[in-house]
Structure 1
Amino acid sequence: MTESSKTPYVYAAALLIAVLGIYLPSMGNGLVFDDLRLSDGTIFGEYGSLLQIKQRMLSYGSFVWIQDLFGDGWWKQRTVNLALHLGVVAALFALLKSLIGMARFPQEFEEQEHFVRSRAAALRVGVALFALNPVAVYAVAYLAQRSILMATLFAVLACWMFVRGLQTSRASWFAGALLSYVAAVLSKEYAVMTVAMAVPLYIFVRRPGWKQIATIVGVALLVLVMAIGALWSVYGHVIGRLFDPQSLALAQQLEALRPGITQQIYPLSILNEAALFFVYGLLWVFPNVQWMSIDLRPAFPLSFGSSWHLLGALSYLALLLTSLWLAVRRSNLWGLAGLLLLFPLLWYVTEFSTVWVQDPFVLYRSYLWAVALPGLAAIVLTGFKPRSIYIVGVVLGVLFGALALERVMSLKDAGSAWGDAADKISPTAPPNAVGRSRAYLNLGAYQLEKGLLTQAERSFATADALGDPQGNARFNTGVALQQQKKHAEALQAFDKAQAKGFSGQSLHYHRGESAFALGQYAKAYQNFDAALKAPAEAIEGGEKMQQLLRLRHAEAAIGANQFDAAIADFTLLLQQSPGNSRLELGLGMALVGKGDTARAIGLFDRLLARAPNPAAFYGRGLAHQRGGNQAQALKDLDQAIGMDPRNPQYRAVREQIATTKSQKP
């Protein structure tokens, strides 16, 4: 019985509808974590030119090009991610169909009446389960991870075109394969090992002699060396090293657990990642969403004697050698299985290039490595009746789709993403599961932004208890206390944050604000001064932040009797914002404090002529009092009180002046 000509179209339509059902609800999702590069100028400010060769220029540049073509709207960018995912599914189907079609199945399978239909059904179900897999959500719905989508698409296309070139002997296919490989590497460097797959693919398709094998090995090695050389100029500083402050801080926590570990941390990282290879595979095969989040923190091995890490590393090596032997020596299903396993095994080598302490287990990276699974599933399912295969596919597809939709919803915004991650953090995990504080730290930051101050405090306290290494949790606790006007407690939290290593402009600024609120003007002035001198932290709005710091520095200077500094600050600010009433009031008060009453009175006169207000009357009253004109001072203060009768400071100062005047002979 032959297959209906409509079956491929029904399958494609059903799969398309299922994928759309999962990802269309994500079109309104907010930006999460790495997505913030899209709003802080990191991507839109530095990418978009094809004339500047740089890492990830195609994937990051695509955000700029899509916006230029179709305008603003994150849903438009998410649509591109979805289209790329569908492209990967189509390219993967084409590649696996070519490879499976060349493999020899057991004779008893091939003699079955339904063998061809069974093989087709098995491949369709395998590819569908990849398309609907919940783990794939972390590449598709996590907007900034377009880089892994594009790298996977071009890597799979490169392999398919290479196979087509071997089948047809047409140079155009090989040229397309090379261009796709370059595009894959320019999308994300994780695809660099794609060229290594040329060797097992060549052997599997052609079954050549050793001379031909040596030739293809030489060509592939040459291309690989050139690609690695180009990447080395960009990433050479991270090879085999701890490459960022957070990783260094986490390594110090490991050092405290086992002194001397930092001297062995690179080989231990390799051991860890080799073991985690099988955890990635397990999640794709058994996608338990309780084991998934945006931030997973497995334990880092403290020694080479860690049994499961050692077993995992030895298993990785054994699987690599076995797969290579099968791909070279067998053309049957075992050879196909070995070939398919070489895809993730060789691509995964990039995980061994640096020290992964900060992000040792990240689900979106596994999207590239998972492309072998549909082929392996097809091998297992082929031979069963097509109807049975499709029933299994529908049941698993519905289950996978529902779980994937749940994962999409977990990425709805920063609160849901980090809340989900925090829920997956085990409080009883061993201390070498470093970095568990980040989920609570980011959840607290979201709660703080939304004004959920009590919840934010709890999240920051948990982050601190889980070993936040650089004082971020304590600093943010201080900010939460500050927003509740608990300024004394906030200052204590800021001091604790600094003691744990937190520093920078934001620390000085917030400490200055709480000190100012408590009337500790000298301390506030010192901190605002330090904030002004510290390197700017804001990427966007940096100029406004500097102006705010200058203003608060000036206002604190008045309270600290640093009148010359206040006058200089207000004068500079007025050059940037002429006619600003708040700045003119501040300058007037600084002039009063210095004793330059004539200039202060003139400034207040101009302010009052332009727009009468109680603060200006109050300031002029102080200037008159300082200049000895008590009667005029009382008149101005009466005007201020009349316009703002609830201000206790105006009444207190008036009573003081009136008392002083009555005591004079």
Structure 2
Amino acid sequence: MSWQQRTSWAIAAFFTAALILYWGSLRYPPVFDDGQLTERFLRSYASTLFRFDLRWFSYATFGWVYEALGRDWIWQRLLNVLLHAAVATTLFLFLKRLFAALLPQDQTAPAWHAFFGALLFLAHPAAVYGVAYLMQRSVLMAALFALLSLRLFLEGLLRNKWHWFIASAAAYFVAVFSKEHCVMLPAVAATLVLLVRGWSFLNLRQLALPFALYAAIALLVTLKAKGLLGTRYEPFAEAAVRQLAESDHSADQFDAYPLSVLNQGLLFFRYLATWLLPWPGWMSIDVRPVFPSHLMSWPQAVGLAAWLAWPVAGTVLLLRRGRVGLVGLAMLAPWLLAITEVATVRVQEPFVLYRSYLWMSLLPAAIPAAVARLRPGWGLALLAAAGLALLPPFFDRLGSFSSEFKVWNDAVLKNTDARAPFSDRAWRNRGVAQYKAGRYPEALADFNQALKIDARSALGWMTRGTLYMRAARSEEARADFDRALELDPRQAEALARRCVVLMRLKRLDAALADCLAAADLSPDNVDSYTSLGMVRALRGETLEAELQYRRALQLEAKDGDAHYQYGVLLRGLGRIAEARPHFAAACAAGVQSACKAAGVH
């Protein structure tokens, strides 16, 4: 069998394995940030040409799939799985070429080592967080085009042809505009120069063009993200920092950044440990490590020292080239790519496994050195055994995404230290899942626990108020919404929901004021306009009410509540024929009270 045929069979194996491994997850529901994938979001990307917006390429694929195949999530999940298989394929092609170039004395081992390295990455439990979490398609595409960029750059190094370097820069452009966290990829390309060619001043002249292109692209994406550098950019970071301050931490703007760097130094090794020893107990969608209280905190201070020493050790190994140099590459690539973690203040989400999908993709470069002392057959047997050993934790992690409750119950069970900032989120989100499943007492218990952890969380009060609102406990709901708005007067969602409660309490003027404020603060929020339509209808302002429902449905054409309330208004006006399609749409969206009105039984 020719090498082209063997490569084709290997690629087919990656796609087949990915489909087999993830087939049972194609019908899993969206979770967490997947809620951003509204119809308005999907339509906006489906109908526009390229924009120099961060993550445009990855987000545009959601719109393209929606436009071509509809909103059934199975197609979006299938694309994630295929992208994951493409990442493994590109990793295989890169490693195969690299191993063959550095270890020419070996005949067949480099190809097998590359194959098993890519296969181990494909089946890794930590990779699940990049694949099963729909919104993280950005990291899949960044990894795919980053590896493609390195593969093209490597070919340019070996052939000394300019067009490979230009193609590499083009792939890098797509990578950084899929997810900006791969901006440090040119530094990894520089390590390839040292590994493949060694140090030479001639390299500086010969490689000026590709690195000039990389620098221009990196500068462009850095300028796009300049407002994030060194800041608390995360949505609820201010609340998390405030929580730290109340726990006797130093939390002013000057202190927050160095403490975040200190924390990330240690967490780099936690990421590394998770990929080398993938125990499910270390993994969840929301990992909450304790934040350091001062610059000499244990064990973060030791972790930072090790983090600073890591690239020195990696460079020493890299310069030895050959198998040992490959270990240096496996050490340096994750470290260089993860430098973005110290570019901002990370308090709210200091440890997120899906980002490590990108950084750790080159760990398999160390495989030839890891099995060097074994006979070839034993080495391959060991790699095959490692692949089989990954399957139980892989399916454990994949199963945690099978429902919203499971993904957040898993997070609650893993986060047992209430000192960690934002540790209330897992409880609150599990409560939301319990509430959606109709388990109201359990949901209330989770919301209460979240507020016990952080009683100054506006989101916590708003969430519990929503449960009270749905349970028709209007006074308790109003009190919780009042408290949420004391803590965050610009929380549009709390205003919109308090508007509904005030309607029930017959305080229509106050309700109207809340709904107008909510729509003003969040002009893209469907619920704000639906609530505004309801209060207008109760005030007898039917024309204005109809305009608000239409506005809501312009934003989200399949929103069940907007369709139902619009149907109620039209029926009340005697426009029965116009009301029926809205009741049918609301019924299709899961609003049970609409089904009878639509004649669906």
Classify the TM-score, shorter chain.
0.7 to 0.9
SS at match of 2:386: helix
Please name the residue that 1:58 is paired with: 57
CA–CA distance in structure 1, aligned partners of residues 344 and 266 of structure 2: 16
Q: Report the Cα offset of residue 404 of structure 1.
A: 1.6
1:352 pairs with 2:336 = no
Determine if contact 1:118/1:384 at 8 Å carries over to the other structure.
Answer: no
Q: Which among 379, 394, 401 is matched to residue 384 of structure 2?
A: 394
Residues 338 and 216 of structure 1: CA distance in aligned 2, closer, same or farther (over 3 Å): farther
- AA matched with 2:24: P
Please name the residue that 2:596 is paired with: none
Q: Which TM-score applies when normalising by structure 2?
A: 0.84
Please name the residue that 2:217 is paired with: 227
Please identify, of 541-550 and 155-164, the stretch whose mean Cα deviation from structure 2 is larger: 541-550
Q: Which among 135, 153, 164 is matched to residue 126 of structure 2?
A: 135
SS at match of 1:201: helix
Q: Which TM-score applies when normalising by structure 1?
A: 0.76
1:546 pairs with 2:532 = yes
CA–CA distance in structure 2, aligned partners of residues 313 and 334 of structure 1: 25
Determine if contact 2:234/2:346 at 8 Å carries over to the other structure.
Answer: no
Please identify, of 79-88 and 535-544, the stretch whose mean Cα deviation from structure 2 is larger: 535-544
1:149 pairs with 2:140 = yes
Matches within 5 A, 1:277-426: 277-327=268-318, 329-426=319-416
Q: Report the Cα offset of residue 364 of structure 1.
A: 0.6
Determine if contact 2:230/2:257 at 8 Å carries over to the other structure.
Answer: yes
Q: Report the Cα offset of residue 219 of structure 1.
A: 5.1
Residues 48 and 367 of structure 1: CA distance in aligned 2, closer, same or farther (over 3 Å): farther
Q: Deviations over 1:333-368 (max 9, x none)?
A: 222211232211111111111111111111110011
- AA matched with 1:421: A
- AA matched with 2:526: E
SS at match of 1:296: coil
CA–CA distance in structure 2, aligned partners of residues 195 and 326 of structure 1: 19
Please name the residue that 2:429 is paired with: 442
Q: Deviations over 1:281-322 (max 9, x none)?
A: 111111111211111111111111013212222212211122
CA–CA distance in structure 1, aligned partners of residues 291 and 179 of structure 2: 26
CA–CA distance in structure 1, aligned partners of residues 293 and 98 of structure 2: 42
Determine if contact 1:89/1:131 at 8 Å carries over to the other structure.
Answer: yes
CA–CA distance in structure 2, aligned partners of residues 540 and 576 of structure 1: 10
Please identify, of 480-489 and 218-227, the stretch whose mean Cα deviation from structure 2 is larger: 218-227
- AA matched with 2:77: R
Determine if contact 2:287/2:411 at 8 Å carries over to the other structure.
Answer: yes
CA–CA distance in structure 2, aligned partners of residues 583 and 48 of structure 1: 32
Please name the residue that 1:160 is paired with: 151
Please identify, of 141-150 and 256-265, the stretch whose mean Cα deviation from structure 2 is larger: 256-265
1:463 pairs with 2:447 = no
CA–CA distance in structure 1, aligned partners of residues 424 and 491 of structure 2: 21
- AA matched with 1:457: L
Residues 585 and 352 of structure 1: CA distance in aligned 2, closer, same or farther (over 3 Å): closer
Residues 57 and 573 of structure 1: CA distance in aligned 2, closer, same or farther (over 3 Å): closer
What is the number of equivalent residue pairs in this alignment? 556
Q: Deviations over 1:264-290 (max 9, x none)?
A: 111211121121111111111111112
CA–CA distance in structure 2, aligned partners of residues 160 and 516 of structure 1: 61
CA–CA distance in structure 2, aligned partners of residues 85 and 425 of structure 1: 28
CA–CA distance in structure 2, aligned partners of residues 585 and 147 of structure 1: 45
Give the unaligned 5+ runs of structure 2: 551-565, 575-601
Identity in percent: 29
Q: Report the Cα offset of residue 241 of structure 1.
A: 0.6
Q: Report the Cα offset of residue 411 of structure 1.
A: 1.1
Please identify, of 244-253 and 279-288, the stretch whose mean Cα deviation from structure 2 is larger: 244-253
Please name the residue that 1:602 is paired with: none
Determine if contact 1:27/1:79 at 8 Å carries over to the other structure.
Answer: yes
Please name the residue that 1:241 is paired with: 231
CA–CA distance in structure 2, aligned partners of residues 288 and 398 of structure 1: 14
Q: Report the Cα offset of residue 132 of structure 1.
A: 0.4
Please name the residue that 1:626 is paired with: none
- AA matched with 1:323: G
SS at match of 1:304: coil
Residues 393 and 19 of structure 1: CA distance in aligned 2, closer, same or farther (over 3 Å): farther
**Over aligned residues, Cα RMSD in angstroms?**
3.2
Determine if contact 2:176/2:182 at 8 Å carries over to the other structure.
Answer: yes
Q: Deviations over 1:415-460 (max 9, x none)?
A: 222222122121xx262x1011111112212222332211110111
When Rg is computed on C-alpha atoms for both structures, the one with the higher figure is 1
Determine if contact 2:15/2:86 at 8 Å carries over to the other structure.
Answer: no
CA–CA distance in structure 2, aligned partners of residues 178 and 463 of structure 1: 47
Residues 574 and 490 of structure 1: CA distance in aligned 2, closer, same or farther (over 3 Å): closer
SS at match of 1:45: helix
Please name the residue that 1:171 is paired with: 162
Determine if contact 2:153/2:189 at 8 Å carries over to the other structure.
Answer: yes
Q: Report the Cα offset of residue 506 of structure 1.
A: 4.2
CA–CA distance in structure 1, aligned partners of residues 421 and 133 of structure 2: 24
CA–CA distance in structure 1, aligned partners of residues 217 and 60 of structure 2: 20
Residues 175 and 286 of structure 1: CA distance in aligned 2, closer, same or farther (over 3 Å): same
CA–CA distance in structure 1, aligned partners of residues 569 and 387 of structure 2: 64
Please name the residue that 2:75 is paired with: 76
Q: Report the Cα offset of residue 27 of structure 1.
A: 0.8
Determine if contact 1:199/1:213 at 8 Å carries over to the other structure.
Answer: no
Please name the residue that 1:530 is paired with: 514
Q: Report the Cα offset of residue 575 of structure 1.
A: 8.4
Determine if contact 2:469/2:501 at 8 Å carries over to the other structure.
Answer: yes
Residues 516 and 185 of structure 1: CA distance in aligned 2, closer, same or farther (over 3 Å): closer
Q: Report the Cα offset of residue 576 of structure 1.
A: 8.2
- AA matched with 1:86: A
Determine if contact 1:198/1:216 at 8 Å carries over to the other structure.
Answer: no
Residues 82 and 48 of structure 1: CA distance in aligned 2, closer, same or farther (over 3 Å): farther
CA–CA distance in structure 2, aligned partners of residues 575 and 192 of structure 1: 45
Residues 512 and 261 of structure 1: CA distance in aligned 2, closer, same or farther (over 3 Å): closer
CA–CA distance in structure 2, aligned partners of residues 509 and 57 of structure 1: 31
SS at match of 2:26: helix
Determine if contact 1:196/1:224 at 8 Å carries over to the other structure.
Answer: no
Please name the residue that 2:94 is paired with: 95
Q: Report the Cα offset of residue 413 of structure 1.
A: 3.0
- AA matched with 2:205: T
1:212 pairs with 2:196 = no
Determine if contact 1:570/1:586 at 8 Å carries over to the other structure.
Answer: no
Residues 184 and 504 of structure 1: CA distance in aligned 2, closer, same or farther (over 3 Å): closer
Determine if contact 2:29/2:404 at 8 Å carries over to the other structure.
Answer: yes
Please name the residue that 1:601 is paired with: none
CA–CA distance in structure 2, aligned partners of residues 332 and 4 of structure 1: 23
SS at match of 1:293: coil
SS at match of 2:526: coil
- AA matched with 1:28: R
Please name the residue that 2:581 is paired with: none
